[in-house]
């Protein structure tokens, strides 16, 4: 746009006030001045070709011949601007003002140069001077609006953009900028109208498509957003930020492979684009490609050490690698830089919940900060339109919010329970936070009266949807884990709200009424760890769904009987394999000199992860020749691989859940270490429910003693293995019908208890 101004306003068309600036009328033009003009024109030719270095060279030659050549100063300044050499361009525009003190154009360009240097006060002052000289200078009104917007002077910015539009109603950039201010004011409909109008005025205006796409992305209107980002890229092939933001949209709809290609293109165009490195790192992290993920975050932080997004993303990576203290430090730095980012708070709380050194007070302090931030955004409902519930024959609407209605631990625990709920008494509503669906999704969908793809709804819109559906009790299945929608619960869209299944600590969400648990997982003396009230269900807070195709997957004989040595297994992720866990395992293996260790998880498919794990094990005395590291396999093979282990050692304080239940079903017992938090007592709760209290250790010494005792008694292990599947299937841990009845009773009692208050 400024190049157009250069052509129209420079030289013979320069404006001073309402008149053209005077030009020399001398009939004799010296050879020197003629040469200067020719050099200036040569510079213009290179400028038009975007060859700003050669353009700069010719403009400087012109000025060497004529030090008072106004046009050459303007042109040189613009060529320096294009090279981002703003301090040098500032000098050129000031020299131009010396040549022509009443030039609105010179002051305009100086104002832009100062704006680019973030000298906003000085920029606005110079731009106002330009407007005073030429009041109808609509481009200058627009840039002044941008400067005021950068200073967060929103009302003044609106006035400047409107003044630009008043003088030039068809000037598209001012309409777009006005829309950007409306977004900050929360006037989204007005903003969208501005962007649409800007596009109608200039159908090739890539930035307007970008702004519209960004608004639509924030509103989770991903289909429209993708279309408009693609249009922006079509119009501007070098639009790196559009590539980056398009990738974000594609990640939101689970199209990571496409997203990765667009992010690499964004980085190719702009190697300094921090957001692209962060988003690419997120995808690598999800692929368990920790090395490339870490490189992306380190590049981002090298470019911008104060990138809140990069610090928070790095925290997730460090947490997955079990480096909790460093992860916590990264999250805190991210929150310090961006205090309104609820995702960082959730990630911090998730990490603290299973960090063994986190005290109750530290966790509760962070819960309070999360609650404060959530309530800054949410506007909680206080009245709900829900159907009357008849105590003799209740009919309640129960909503479930999750991103894990699929082949996922949450899905495995949920499936059998949902199938046993009495649909004559309860109507089930699902709010799914991820578009991905699979065969498990197809199975559980049958039990839901209504299925809403909430991934496309903002928190406010989803809260409104839940409220309009007339949900009596809303159940969160995620807590602070990935793909959660906890901020929605701060809106209090249902009269009763519950945390259950997918999380193992307090959520801290204002308006979350209860956590469903059992007395073993959360004994009465631990209630003060929660901001929610604890509601007990009998036996167990969890009920596992036996794997499909069970008839193909038989329990094997104890492998030690054939091998002649004991094989200890663990199928849990890297985050749970802390130094403290490995140190205790090292003590076990020191006293079991022939024992082998089999570690199997998706991370072990990476050569770098294997190398790191072997080094860590060596430090605790477990040599590589005693270790087998196995990567991801399909679920059926994973279950069959339990035939290669004799017993399992649980991690702590982040104990196993799904892995423990699967192992029990395969006849393999798990030795767990009891703790003082819900997550550290999860193994205790499950094993107690399954009738295996002797496999619960009370402290590390007891853990070591029990591990050695069980490992030396192959007859006991073999006998237990032979009947363990039948034992656990007969226990409440796998009894979905019993659990469903208990859950129904709990939900009904919650409702009538709440309505008696």
Is the pLDDT reported for residue 631 higher than 80?
A: yes
pLDDT(617) > 70: yes
Neighbours of 146 (CB within 10 A): 22
Measured between alpha carbons, how far is 186 from 458 in angstroms, rounded to an integer? Answer: 13
What is the Cβ-side half-sphere exposure of residue 626, based on CA atoms within 13 angstroms?
22
In this structure, the number of other CB atoms found within 10 A of the CB of residue 230 comes to: 17
| CA 532 distance to own-chain centroid | 25
* pTM, to two decimals: 0.83
Q: Answer for the pair 567, 645: CB distance below 8 angstroms, yes or no.
A: yes
Per-residue pLDDT, averaged over 222-246, amounts to 97
d(CA 509, CA 414): 23
Q: Note the pLDDT tens digit of each residue in 153-177.
A: 999 999 999 999 999 999 999 999 9
User: Tokens standing for 165?
Assistant: 């539009």
* pLDDT average, residue stretch 207-230: 96
Percent of the chain with pLDDT over 70: 95
Asked if residue 14 has pLDDT above 70, the reply is no
* DSSP states along 567-596: EEEE---GGG--HHHHHHHHHHHHT-TT-E
Strands 696-697 and 19-20: unpaired
pLDDT in tens, 109-143: 999 999 999 999 999 999 999 999 999 999 999 99
Q: What's the pLDDT band for 4 if we cut at 50, 70, 90? A: very low
| CA-based nearest residue to 474, from 575, 401, 564, 373 | 401
Query: How crowded is the C-beta side of 463, counted as CA atoms within 13 Å?
Result: 23
Identify any residues that bridge with 429 across adjacent strands, giving them in sequence order.
399, 450
In the predicted structure, residue 197 carries a pLDDT above the cut 50: yes
pLDDT at 427 (0 to 100)? 96
Q: Rounded mean pLDDT of 654-674?
A: 97
**Omega before 653 within 30 of 0, i.e. cis:** yes
Confidence category of residue 390, pLDDT binned at 50, 70, 90: confident
- pLDDT grade for 632, boundaries at 50, 70 and 90: confident
Residue 732 binned pLDDT confidence (cut-offs 50, 70, 90): very high
Torsion angle of the four alpha carbons 122, 125, 128, 134, in this order, in degrees rounded to the nearest 10: -80
Helix intervals (H) in 120-239? 120-133, 138-150, 154-167, 172-184, 188-201, 206-218, 222-235
Nearest one of 285, 286, 238, 292 to 265, comparing CA atoms: 238
Q: How confident is the model at residue 322 (pLDDT cuts 50, 70, 90)?
A: confident
Q: For residue 9, is pLDDT > 70?
A: no
Cα distance between residue 266 and residue 132, in whole Å: 41
Is residue 26's pLDDT more than 60? no
| 8 A C-beta contact, residue 43 and residue 55 | yes
Q: Residue 5 — very low, low, confident or very high, per pLDDT cuts 50/70/90?
A: low
Nearest to 712 by CA among 541, 536, 594: 594
Residue of 612, 609, 614, 703 lying closest to 652 (CA atoms): 703
Task: Compute the average pLDDT of residues 461-466.
Answer: 95
Q: Does pLDDT of 22 surpass 50?
A: no
pLDDT recorded at residue 623: 96
pLDDT greater than 60 at residue 30: no
Other CB atoms within a 10 A radius of the CB of residue 19 amount to: 9
What is residue 102's three-state secondary structure?
Answer: coil
Q: In the beta sheet, which residues pair with residue 671?
A: 649
What is the structure's pLDDT at 552?
Answer: 85
pLDDT of amino acid 384: 94
| Res. 24: pLDDT tops 80 | no
**Cα 358 to Cα 515: distance, rounded to the nearest angstrom:** 21
Residue 539 — left, alpha, or beta (φ > 0 → left; ψ -120 to 50 → alpha)?
left
Mean pLDDT over 202-219 rounds to: 96
The pair phi, psi for residue 252, each rounded to 5°, is -60, -25
User: 353 pLDDT exceeds 60?
Assistant: yes
User: What is the DSSP annotation of 78-98?
Assistant: HHHHHTT-HHHHHHHHHHHHH
Whole-angstrom CA distances from 735 to 420, 447, 684 are 10, 18, 18
Q: Burial level of 88, CB count in 10 A (0-12/13-18/19+)?
A: middle
* Cβ atoms within 10 Å of 341's Cβ, excluding its own: 17
Helical packing angle, 409-420 and 658-665, nearest 10°: 70
At 12 the pLDDT is 32
**pLDDT score recorded for residue 699:** 97
Mean pLDDT confidence for 596-612: 91
Q: What is the DSSP letter of 22?
A: P
What CA–CA distance (Å, rounded) separates 614 from 702?
Answer: 26
Distance CA 262, CA 504 (A): 37
Helix (H) or strand (E) holding 61: helix 52-65
Domains and CATH numbers, the chain: 2-20+29-213 (1.25.40.10), 272-377 (1.25.40.10), 396-536 (3.40.50.11380), 552-734 (3.40.50.2000)
| 18-27, 253-262, 354-363: least confident range | 18-27
20 vs 708, more confident? 708
* 8 A C-beta contact, residue 607 and residue 614: no
Average pLDDT over residues 329-333: 97
- Tell how many helices (H) and how many strands (E) occur in the chain: 34, 15
Residues in Cβ contact with 596 at an 8 Å cutoff, skipping those fewer than 6 apart: 565, 566, 567, 568, 626, 627, 628
Nearest to 652 by CA among 689, 681, 693, 625: 681
pLDDT in tens, 174-183: 999 999 999 9
Of 25 and 197, more confident? 197
**DSSP SS3 for 651:** coil
Distance between CA atoms of 743 and 738, rounded to whole angstroms?
A: 9
Q: Distance (Å, rounded) from C-alpha 304 to C-alpha 298?
A: 10
Is the confidence at residue 27, as pLDDT, over 80? Answer: no
Say what the pLDDT of residue 19 is. 34
Q: How many residues does the chain have?
A: 757
- Predicted confidence (pLDDT) at residue 33 exceeds the cutoff of 80: no
CA distance 172 to 366: 46
Instruction: Check whether 599 has a pLDDT greater than 70.
Output: yes
Residue 210 to residue 295: CA distance in whole angstroms: 28
* Residue-level pLDDT at 3: 52
More confident residue, 11 or 422: 422
Which tokens in the block code for residue 25? 């009328």
pLDDT at 20: 34
What is the DSSP annotation of 417-462? Answer: HHHHS-TTTEEEEEEES-----HHHHHHHTT-SEEEEGGGS-HHHH
pLDDT at 385: 87
31 confidence band (pLDDT: 50, 70, 90) = low
* Rg of the chain, C-alpha, whole Å: 33
> What are 531-563's pLDDT values in tens digits?
999 999 999 999 999 998 778 899 999 999 999
- Residue 7 confidence (pLDDT): 37
Residue 391 pLDDT grade (very low, low, confident, very high; cuts 50, 70, 90): confident
**Mean pLDDT value across residues 462-488:** 96
The pLDDT assigned to 757 comes to 55
Q: At a CB cut-off of 8 Å and minimum separation 6, what does 298 contact? A: none
Tokens of 332: 């805190």
Sign of CA dihedral 415, 416, 422, 423: positive
């Amino acid at each position: 746009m400024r190049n157009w101004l250069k052509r129209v306003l420079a030289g013979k068309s320069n404006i001073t006030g309402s008149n053209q600036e005077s030009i020399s009328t001398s009939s004799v033009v010296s050879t020197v001045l003629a040469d200067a003009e020719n050099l200036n024109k040569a510079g213009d030719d290179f400028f038009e070709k975007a060859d700003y270095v050669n353009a700069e060279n010719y403009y400087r030659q012109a000025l060497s011949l004529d030090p008072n050549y106004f046009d050459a100063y303007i042109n040189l300044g613009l060529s320096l601007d294009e090279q981002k050499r703003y301090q040098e361009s500032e000098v050129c525009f000031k020299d131009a003002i010396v040549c022509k003190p009443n030039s609105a154009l010179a002051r305009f360009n100086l104002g832009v140069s100062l704006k680019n240097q973030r000298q906003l006060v000085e920029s606005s002052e110079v731009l106002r001077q330009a407007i005073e000289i030429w009041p109808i200078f609509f481009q200058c009104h627009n840039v002044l609006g941008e400067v005021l917007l950068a200073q967060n002077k929103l009302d003044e910015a609106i006035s400047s953009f409107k003044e630009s539009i008043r003088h030039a109603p068809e000037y598209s950039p001012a309409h777009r900028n006005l829309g950007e201010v409306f977004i900050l004011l929360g006037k989204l409909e007005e903003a969208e109208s501005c962007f649409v109008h800007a596009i109608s005025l200039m159908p090739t205006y890539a930035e307007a498509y970008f702004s519209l796409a960004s608004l639509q992305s924030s509103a989770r209107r991903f289909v429209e957003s993708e279309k408009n980002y693609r249009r922006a890229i079509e119009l501007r092939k070098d639009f790196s930020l559009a590539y980056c933001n398009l990738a974000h949209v594609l990640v939101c709809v689970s199209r990571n492979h496409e997203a990765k290609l667009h992010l690499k293109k964004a980085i190719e165009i702009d190697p300094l684009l921090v957001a692209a490195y962060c988003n690419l790192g997120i995808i690598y992290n999800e692929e368990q490609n920790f090395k490339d993920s870490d490189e992306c975050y380190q590049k981002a932080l090298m470019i911008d050490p104060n990138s809140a997004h990069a610090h928070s993303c790095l925290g997730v990576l460090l947490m997955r690698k079990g480096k909790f203290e460093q992860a916590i430090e990264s999250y805190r730095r991210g929150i310090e830089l961006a205090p309104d980012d609820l995702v960082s708070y959730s990630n911090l709380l998730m990490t603290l919940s299973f960090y063994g050194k986190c005290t109750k007070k530290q966790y509760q302090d962070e819960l309070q900060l999360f609650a404060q931030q959530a309530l800054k955004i949410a506007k909680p409902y206080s009245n709900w339109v829900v159907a009357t519930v008849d105590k003799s024959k209740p009919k309640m609407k129960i909503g479930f919010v999750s991103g894990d209605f699929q082949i996922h631990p949450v899905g495995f625990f949920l499936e059998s329970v949902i199938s046993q709920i009495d649909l004559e008494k309860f109507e089930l509503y699902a709010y799914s936070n991820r578009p991905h669906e699979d065969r498990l999704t197809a199975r559980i969908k049958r039990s839901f009266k209504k299925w809403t793809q909430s991934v496309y709804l903002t928190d406010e819109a989803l809260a409104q949807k839940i409220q309009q559906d007339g949900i009596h009790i809303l159940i969160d299945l995620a807590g602070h884990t990935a793909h959660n929608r906890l901020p929605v619960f701060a809106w209090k869209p249902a009269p009763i709200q519950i945390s259950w299944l997918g999380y193992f600590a307090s959520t801290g969400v204002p308006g979350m009424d209860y956590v469903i648990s059992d007395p073993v997982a959360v004994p009465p003396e631990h209630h003060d760890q929660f901001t929610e009230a604890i509601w007990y269900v009998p036996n167990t807070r969890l009920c596992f769904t036996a794997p499909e195709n069970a008839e193909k997957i038989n329990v094997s004989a104890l492998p030690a009987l054939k091998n002649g040595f004991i094989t200890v297994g663990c199928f849990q992720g890297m985050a749970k394999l802390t130094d403290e866990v490995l140190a205790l395992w090292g003590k076990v293996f020191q006293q079991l000199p022939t024992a082998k260790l089999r570690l199997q998880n998706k991370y072990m498919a990476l050569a770098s992860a294997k190398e790191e794990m072997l080094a860590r094990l060596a430090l605790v005395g477990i040599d590589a020749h005693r270790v087998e590291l196995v990567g991801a396999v399909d679920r059926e093979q994973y279950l069959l691989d339990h035939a290669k282990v004799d017993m399992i050692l649980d991690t702590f304080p982040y104990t196993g859940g799904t892995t423990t239940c699967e192992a029990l079903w395969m006849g393999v017992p798990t030795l767990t270490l009891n703790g003082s938090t819900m997550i550290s007592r999860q193994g205790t709760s499950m094993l107690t429910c399954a009738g295996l209290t002797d496999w619960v250790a009370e402290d590390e010494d007891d853990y070591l003693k029990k591990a050695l005792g069980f490992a030396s008694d192959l007859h006991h292990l073999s006998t237990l293995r032979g009947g363990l599947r039948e034992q656990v299937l007969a226990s409440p841990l796998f009894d979905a019908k019993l659990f469903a009845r208990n859950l129904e009773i709990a939900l009904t009692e919650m409702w009538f208890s709440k309505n008696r208050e």
